[in-house]
């Protein structure tokens, strides 16, 4: 099952994860050439009134809906923000402190305390960073972590031979001087399946990663090494786009984020002959993520590096605030499976790391117990749940909905992928629900390791002896319940929007969505059971 | 005008950062380890008093005691240099400082010759440096003064060997050998392995707000455990296991004693409500609160479990009719719970007569780090 789809249709938004830069550039230029003969503005897609179902075997499916709701141009509201983003040194100034901190973490993992809760790598990355990422950065900053991520630092440096500046020139279709192999990533692999597998593989070893600093070190050093090697062979951020496990989950949940980087006017983009956002210019590098701003309609594959803000000759790129969960369309199987995997893993993490099930911890903690067969069974259960069980449940709900919808037939694949989006708000809020107790119960360890980053008995800020102090642990189940309910609410609201974009008839949309809604409620109940167990 | 100034400032910033970029990256990669090294190797040791004999000892539940620094990188090594007799040598009158570091779980330190760790448990917590300071005011026997772990920290075969010896030589060469012999005689009585203190004449407060005497349990087989009501996970599971045991041994003479380690929160009223949620039979399952210090003392001295405010082991302690601890079992491990049930049947069959069984130290259960449990 391949999701690779060369995208050459100008009206279909491009997915940079699927399309080569040459294809996108050709499509973009064709669009510019056709300007004047056809409008680039999209038509409203959500029908304003119900129409009778088509008599044919399959009705024509409405194209994806335009984002609705309010948008605030943050560059206009806060001009300083735009000035900062236009600085060539903007990203470097953010990444360098992060490089320093991660370097300290790596040293601590090797030479610091071997116990997880006394090691700064474990405590900051898996407690504080994870909490901030999932609770604040992703919902309110989209992929802003990718802006400051230190993992591709060396890869970018090798590829650009610049830490701050930009090199005009010509490298293939790009108008920048780039180094390294600059090869195109194989078409068959232009999807996020590898990211899905990577995240799932990391999750299987979660108990090890969060208790043994050396294990986390190995995981991170592999990522840094891979990002660097990939940058030397393939062009742009190939590692980030196709392999990084963290990128995969950020990609999925950034759809719900309340900010987006978009062009201010699609018409300006359409008339633009340079396509500098895609190819680079004297002011900025070609988009490392391969995004063409005229077609960007989802946050998934925009790493917020702000190069397009600098390279756009028309000053047409801006950062917008928007309502929660505005991007509501998954487009391919790999994205749907990402949603399944993340949904199951939110539950698995809660059970394994925070749950009262000692025997599960023992199964997961294979390096301590040496119970390889138990770990194999644990892994098999997770893999089957992620890749088979939940997708089958989803398929059953979607199939039932399709039958209930009546005569208006929408392809099962479209329904399957479309409704998988409902797992984005459910999953994101489940991860938030998981992260709250993580921080509330274990947050005091962060104070300890900040004063004693190596676990060598230091007390830099006088907090090394701070006792383990769970914050209101008795309130945790109530907070989790509230968060999960908000997730369910958004899933139902947005799921219905998806249904309306798939079905022309309101009643058919509702009937189609009903079984999915039931299964979402069931899923939330399962979350509630395990989270509050 | 403002725009022009801002633009110039931005350009200037870009220029400066561009010029300094490579330098700052190099500075980062050299500066971070250098700063760590300087602080740890140059500054920190100066904090110890001048002239003191400082020994840094790493305690590991899988390796024993070693002077090798155990860190993330070498933790997986199978063998560290074990502490041998004669490794730690000082002279009479020296000021001795032990810097004790746990590489994994909670350990306890005792050195009977100097009265350390007998009345109060000296905890060696992961991540902390436990400093033990004393004057070596007497000459040791030839093998040295023994110190050892007082908490069941891991596998019994390793815990039993978690010991070391401090050799204290005479202050001057002319000091008599007799001093060593005298010291040996003086110390011999004290170096016995510490045994759990019997709960005689000890009482706490029950959920009925009545004084509960542990002496009343004499003649009964009972299972003790520690918990606190606001615990979000482990304690619930622990008490569910006890509730199951209560049901399974409904007709047998087994009592259950659950002691809170958060008495400030867990008043008798709260315990009453909490116990009802587990259908606790008040005649067979008591929930106790009381003075925190007393509870900590009971935990460490009588049950030899690492107990601290809102922090506790999730083990069940089996006590026989004579008040002897027979074994401990991980409540969250089904294998251990099954083992406990079998042992309960055996102990119940022993009858009420005094047995000749010696109190045994808790078995080779893997005492997970309390801290690690929270992850």
Note the pLDDT tens digit of each residue in A487-505: 999 999 999 999 999 998 9
Indicate the range of A95-109, B106-120, B360-374 predicted with least confidence.
Answer: B360-374
Q: Cβ contact (<8 Å) for A114 and B104?
A: yes
Angle at A36 between CA A33 and CA A37, to 5 degrees: 85
Of B14, B72, B102, the CB nearest to A87: B14
Residue B82: predicted pLDDT: 81
Q: Which residues contact A524 (CB under 8 A, 6 or more apart)?
A: A426, A484, A485, A487, A488
User: Using CB atoms and an 8 Å cut-off, which of residues 114-173 of chain B contact chain A?
Assistant: 126-129
Chain A residues close to B72, C-beta within 8 Å: 108-114, 119, 212-214, 217
Tell whether B29 is within 8 A of chain A (Cβ).
Answer: yes
Which is higher by pLDDT, A141 or B183? A141
pLDDT tier for residue B344 given thresholds of 50, 70 and 90: confident
Number of Cβ within 10 Å of residue A461's Cβ equals 11
Q: Spell out the long-range contacts of A79-86 with Cβ–Cβ below 8 A and sequence spacing 24 or more.
A: A81/A319, A82/A309, A82/A318, A82/A319, A83/B6, A83/B10, A85/A306, A85/A309, A85/A310, A85/A319, A86/A306, A86/A309, A86/A310, A86/B10
Is B14 part of the contact surface with chain A (CB cutoff 8 Å)? yes
Q: Do A96 and B28 touch (CB under 8 A)?
A: yes
Distance CA(B91)–CA(A512), nearest Å, equals 86
Q: Does B311 touch chain A (CB under 8 A)?
A: yes
Cβ of A119 within 8 Å of Cβ of B70? The answer is: no
Query: How distant is the Cα of B201 from the closest Cα of chain A, in angstroms?
Result: 32
Q: Is the pLDDT of residue B225 over 50?
A: yes
Torsion of CA A114, A115, A120, A126, to 10 degrees: 120
CB of B45 within 8 Å of a chain A CB? The answer is no
pLDDT at B188: 43
CA distance B286 to chain A (A): 22
Work out the burial of residue B109: count CB atoms within 10 Å of its CB; fewer than 13 is exposed, 13-18 middle, 19 or more buried: buried
Exposed (0-12), middle (13-18) or buried (19+): which is A381, by Cβ within 10 Å? middle
Q: Please tell me whether residue B305 adopts helix, strand or coil conformation.
A: coil
Which residues does chain A have with pLDDT short of 70?
A: 1-68, 533
Q: Find, in chain B, the residue whose alpha carbon is nearest to that of A83.
A: B10
Residue B158: partners with Cβ closer than 8 Å, 6 or more residues away: B61, B62, B63, B64
Scanning every residue of chain B, which has its alpha carbon at the shortest distance from the alpha carbon of A96? Answer: B25
Partner B contacted by A318 (CB < 8 A): no
Asked whether the beta carbons of A394 and A519 are under 8 A apart, the reply is yes
The complex's ipTM works out to 0.79
pLDDT at A369: 75
- The C-alpha torsion from B38 through B39 and B40 to B44, rounded to 10°, is 120
The count of C-alpha atoms lying within 13 angstroms of the C-alpha of A114, restricted to the half-sphere facing its C-beta, is: 20
Please tell me the distance from the alpha carbon of residue A388 to that of residue B374, in angstroms, as a whole number: 31
Q: How many CB atoms lie within 10 A of CB B252?
A: 11
Contact predicate A212/A116, CB 8 Å: yes
A230 phi and psi, to 5 degrees?
-60, -40
**Which has the closest alpha carbon to A261: A191, A321, A208?**
A321
Given an 8 Å threshold on Cβ–Cβ distance, is A468 in contact with B371?
A: yes
Do A457 and B129 count as a contact with CB atoms less than 8 A apart?
yes
CATH for B203-373, among 3.40.250.10, 3.40.30.10, 3.90.1720.10, 3.20.20.70?
Answer: 3.40.30.10
Given B13, B32, B234, which is nearest A104 (Cβ)? B32
User: Taking 80 as the threshold, does the pLDDT of residue B365 lie above it?
Assistant: no
Average pLDDT, chain A: 86
User: What is the spatial distance between Cα A410 and Cα A351, in angstroms, rounded to a whole number?
Assistant: 37
pLDDT, tens only, A371-383: 899 999 999 999 9
Average pLDDT, chain B: 79
Touching check for B310 and chain A: CB below 8 Å? yes
pLDDT digits (tens, 9 = 90+) for A137-192: 999 999 999 999 999 999 999 999 999 999 998 888 889 999 988 889 999 999 99
Q: What is the pLDDT of residue B78?
A: 63
Which among A459, A441, A457, A434 has a CA at the least distance from the CA of B371? A441
Among A87, A89, A353, A440, the strongest candidate for a mutation testing the B interface, having the largest count of B CBs within 10 A, is A89
Nearest CA in chain A to B18: A164
What was the pLDDT predicted at A33? 52
Please tell me which residue, B295 or B192, carries the higher pLDDT value: B295
> Which of the residues A220, A455, A473 would you substitute to probe the B interface, choosing the one with the greatest number of B C-beta atoms within 10 Å?
A455
**What is the separation of C-alpha A159 from the centre of its chain, rounded to a whole number of angstroms?**
24
- Kindly report the CATH class assigned to B48-188: mainly beta
C-beta of residue A183 within 8 angstroms of C-beta of residue A230 = no
Instruction: State the best of A96, A108, A117 to mutate against chain B, taking most chain B CBs within 10 Å.
Output: A117
Cβ of B126 and A113 within 8 Å? yes
Q: How far apart are CA B314 and CA B231, in angstroms?
A: 12
Query: What is the domain partition of chain B in residue ranges?
Result: 48-188, 203-373
- The pLDDT score that the predictor gives to residue A133 is 95
Of all residues in chain B, the one with the smallest CA distance to A467 is B309
pLDDT at B254 over 80: yes
Kindly list the residues from chain A whose CB atom is less than 8 angstroms away from the CB atom of residue B307.
Answer: none
Nearest to B25 among A114, A163, A468 (CB): A163
CA separation for the pair B150, B111 (Å, rounded): 10
Residue A271, min C-alpha distance to chain B (Å):
28
Checking if the pLDDT of B200 tops 50, the result is yes
CA distances from A448 to A111, A264, A472, B86 (A): 17, 46, 19, 35
């Amino acid at each position: 099952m391949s999701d690779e789809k060369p995208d050459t249709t100008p009206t279909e938004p491009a997915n940079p994860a699927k399309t080569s830069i040459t294809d996108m550039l050709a499509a973009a230029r064709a669009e510019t050439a056709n300007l004047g003969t056809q409008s680039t503005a999209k038509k409203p897609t959500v029908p304003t009134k119900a129409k009778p179902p088509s008599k044919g075997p399959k009705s024509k499916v409405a194209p994806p809906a335009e984002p609705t709701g309010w948008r605030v141009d943050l560059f206009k509201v806060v001009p300083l923000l735009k000035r900062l983003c236009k600085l060539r040194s903007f990203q470097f100034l953010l990444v360098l402190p992060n490089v320093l901190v991660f370097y300290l973490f790596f040293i601590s993992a090797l030479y610091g305390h071997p116990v997880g809760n006394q090691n700064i790598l474990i405590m900051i990355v898996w407690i504080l960073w994870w909490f901030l990422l999932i609770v604040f950065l992703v919902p309110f900053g989209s992929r802003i972590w990718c802006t400051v991520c230190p993992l591709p630092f060396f890869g970018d440096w090798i590829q650009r031979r610049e830490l701050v500046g930009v090199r005009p020139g010509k490298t293939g279709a790009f108008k920048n001087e780039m180094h390294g192999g600059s090869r195109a990533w194989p078409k068959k692999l232009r999807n996020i399946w590898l990211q899905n597998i990577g995240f799932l593989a990391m999750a299987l070893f979660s108990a090890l990663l969060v208790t043994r600093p050396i294990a986390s070190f190995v995981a991170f050093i592999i990522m840094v090494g891979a990002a660097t090697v990939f940058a030397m062979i393939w062009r742009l951020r190939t590692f980030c786009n196709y392999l990084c496990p963290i990128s995969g989950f950020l990609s999925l949940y950034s759809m719900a984020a309340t900010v987006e980087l978009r062009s201010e006017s699609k018409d300006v983009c359409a008339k633009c002959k340079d396509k500098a956002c895609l190819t680079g210019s004297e002011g900025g590098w070609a988009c490392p993520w391969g995004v063409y701003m005229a077609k960007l309609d989802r946050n998934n594959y925009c790493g917020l590096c702000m190069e397009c803000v600098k390279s756009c000759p028309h000053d047409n790129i801006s950062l917008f605030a928007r309502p929660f969960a505005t991007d509501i369309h998954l487009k391919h199987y790999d994205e749907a499976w990402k949603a399944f995997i993340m949904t199951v893993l939110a539950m698995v993490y809660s059970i394994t790391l925070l749950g009262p099930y000692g025997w599960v911890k023992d199964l997961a903690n294979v390096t301590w117990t040496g119970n390889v067969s138990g770990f194999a069974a644990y892994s098999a259960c997770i893999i089957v749940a992620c890749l088979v069980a939940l997708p089958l449940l989803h398929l059953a709900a979607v199939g039932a909905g399709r039958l209930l919808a009546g005569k208006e037939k929408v392809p099962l694949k479209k329904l399957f992928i479309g409704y998988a989006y409902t797992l984005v708000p459910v999953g994101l809020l489940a991860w938030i629900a998981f992260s709250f107790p993580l921080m509330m119960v274990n947050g005091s360890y962060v104070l300890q390791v900040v004063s004693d980053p190596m676990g060598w008995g230091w007390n830099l800020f006088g907090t090394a002896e701070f006792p383990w102090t769970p914050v209101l642990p008795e309130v945790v189940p109530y907070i989790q319940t509230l968060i999960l309910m908000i997730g369910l609410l958004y899933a139902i609201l947005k799921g219905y929007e998806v249904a309306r974009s798939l079905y022309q008839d309101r009643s058919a949309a509702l009937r189609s969505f009903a079984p999915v809604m039931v299964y979402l409620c069931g899923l939330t109940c399962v979350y509630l059971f395990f989270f509050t167990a | 005008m403002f725009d022009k100034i801002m633009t110039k400032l931005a350009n200037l910033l870009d220029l400066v950062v561009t010029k300094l970029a490579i330098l700052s990256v190099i500075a980062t990669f050299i500066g971070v380890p250098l700063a760590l090294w300087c602080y740890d190797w140059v500054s920190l040791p100066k904090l110890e008093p001048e002239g003191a004999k400082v020994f840094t000892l790493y305690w590991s539940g899988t390796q024993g005691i070693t002077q090798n620094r155990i860190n993330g990188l070498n933790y997986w090594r199978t063998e560290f240099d074990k502490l041998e007799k004669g490794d730690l040598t000082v002279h009479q009158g020296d000021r001795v400082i032990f810097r004790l570091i746990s590489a994994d779980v909670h350990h306890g330190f005792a050195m009977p010759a100097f009265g350390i760790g007998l009345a109060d448990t000296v905890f060696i917590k992961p991540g902390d440096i436990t400093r033990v300071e004393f004057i070596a005011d007497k000459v040791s026997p030839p093998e040295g003064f023994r110190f050892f772990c007082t908490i069941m920290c891991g596998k019994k075969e390793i815990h039993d060997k978690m010991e070391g010896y401090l050799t204290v030589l005479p202050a001057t060469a002319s000091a008599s050998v007799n001093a060593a012999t005298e010291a040996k005689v003086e110390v011999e009585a004290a170096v016995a392995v510490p045994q759990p203190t019997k709960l005689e004449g000890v009482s706490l407060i029950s959920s009925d707000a009545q004084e509960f005497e542990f002496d009343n349990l004499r003649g009964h087989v009972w299972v003790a455990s520690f918990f606190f009501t606001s615990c979000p996970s482990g304690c619930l599971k622990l008490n569910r296991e006890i509730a199951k045991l209560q049901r399974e041994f409904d007709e047998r003479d087994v009592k259950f004693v659950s002691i809170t380690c958060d008495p400030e929160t867990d008043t008798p009223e709260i315990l009453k409500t909490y116990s009802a949620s587990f259908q606790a039979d008040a005649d067979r399952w008591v929930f106790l609160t009381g003075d925190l210090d007393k509870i900590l003392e009971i935990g460490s001295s009588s049950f030899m479990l690492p107990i601290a405010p809102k922090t506790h082991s999730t083990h069940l302690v089996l006590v026989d009719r004579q008040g002897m601890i027979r074994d401990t079992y991980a409540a969250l491990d089904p294998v251990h719970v099954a083992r406990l049930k079998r042992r309960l049947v055996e102990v119940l069959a022993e009858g009420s007569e005094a047995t000749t069984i010696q109190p045994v130290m808790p078995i080779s259960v893997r005492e997970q780090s309390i801290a690690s449990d929270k992850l």
